[in-house]
Structure formats: C-alpha cells, structure tokens
Chains A and B, each alone.
Chain A
Amino acid sequence: EIVLTQSPATLSLSPGERATLSCRASQSVSSYLAWYQQKPGQAPRLLIYGASNRATGIPARFSGSGSGTDFTLSISSLEPEDFAVYYCQQRNNWPITFGQGTRLEIK
C-alpha cells in the first residue's frame, strides 16, 4: 500500500499570503496524484488532477506540481474561502489511498 504523508498537519496563514502544502508518497505514483479541498459539512471538491491540472472551475491561484514521490499544492494568494482541509490522493496503485490531510486555518 502506498502511504501518502502530508505536511504540515496544520498551516496558519493570513488572507493574501501564499500557502504551500506538501504530499510525499512512500513509492512513486507517477503523476497520478490529485488534490481535494473539503469544508465542514461538505463533500470534497477536486482541485487538481494528474498532479498539475486544475479541475473545471478551480481558480488560477491554485496550482499543483511534482511527480514520482514529491508533490506540492500552492495557493498563490489566500482568499477567505480557501481556509479548509486539503487532501492528496493517489491512484497509481491499488488500493487507492489518501493523505491524512492538511488543515489550513486563519492566523
């Protein structure tokens, strides 16, 4: 099973600042890495697929990078609605696995 480790567990930033979230895989997942945003009481929302492709309707301030084992989700300038929990997910090997999440909170 591929283990995805997200860091940091919690990130405290202010609106307008840049956020950088990390996801590290225990073995290569090629580019089959997705990122999701989840707000309380809501289903997850796909942000990034294929490591670096923005999903439909996702603002340009969200970007993804990386391949193999190291991946990054960046949010260039935080908006108030961006404070949420973010998960990475791999689908290179079965079982499909998620990281444990990074909580992005307002400082």
Chain B
Amino acid sequence: EVQLVESGGGLVQPGGSLRLSCAASGFTFSNDWMAWVRQAPGKGLEWVADINQDGSDKKYVDSVKGRFTISRDNAEDSLFLQMNSLGAEDTAVYYCAREFFRGWGMWGQGTMVTVSS
C-alpha cells in the first residue's frame, strides 16, 4: 500500500526536544523530495522543511532554522524531523508529505506535537 505514516509526536515541555519519524511504503522513496508541513490547532498550513532526494539539500522556514533538522534514511524509507528548543508556537499537527510537481501529492495522517508545561 502506498502510504506515509508519521510517529513520534507527544507532549513535551518548553525547551525540550522531540524526534518525528515518517515511514514511507509503496513507492520509491529515494526518488522524491520530501517535506514536513504543520498545522497549529484551528489554524492554516505552514511549510516547515524540505529535503531533496539524497539529503544533500535542505530548506527551512525561518522560524525553525537552527532548531529543527530534517533528515532521511533512504535505505529505511524514512524521513525524520529533529526538533530542539521547542516552544508553545511549535504546537501543531505535523504532516510528512511527498512532493509531486512542486505540490505535495501524498500526505501522512499527521502526528500531534504539544509543547506545554
């Protein structure tokens, strides 16, 4: 089955860290740019980070630069997001997404990250 499945979300204290994972299946993961997109409760969509096929090119939204790191393991068909120095503004559902002609044609179900004391 062609799918993306995120995991690793949860409740974390301000200043803490969390590592999200996204397991891909049913397609050739190493062929595609991949991304993380988040959505704060009741809010719109916000792109977080992108990574190219071999992991050599990474892009971030300014608000997470220096705190978040996107990576991938093509041998394991997995995408990751290491999140450090988390703040309340990072509370959101985090989706991994597969690029399709400069859009995202496949999305995971999302994993919730809550930053609170």
Contacts and interface: CB of A to CB of B under 8 A. Distances in A.
Contact of B105 (A38, A46, A91, A98): A46
A60 interface: no
B59 A95 contact: yes
B41 to A, nearest CB: 12
Interface residues on B, range: 20 to 34
Contact of B47 (A46, A49, A53, A95): A95
Contacts of B62: 95
A79 B100 CA distance: 26
A43 B108 contact: yes
Interface in B66-117: 95, 100-105, 107-110
A96 B47 contact: yes
Interface of A: 32, 34, 36, 38, 43-46, 48-50, 53, 55-56, 87, 89, 91, 94-101
Interface of B: 35, 37, 44-47, 50, 59-62, 95, 100-105, 107-110
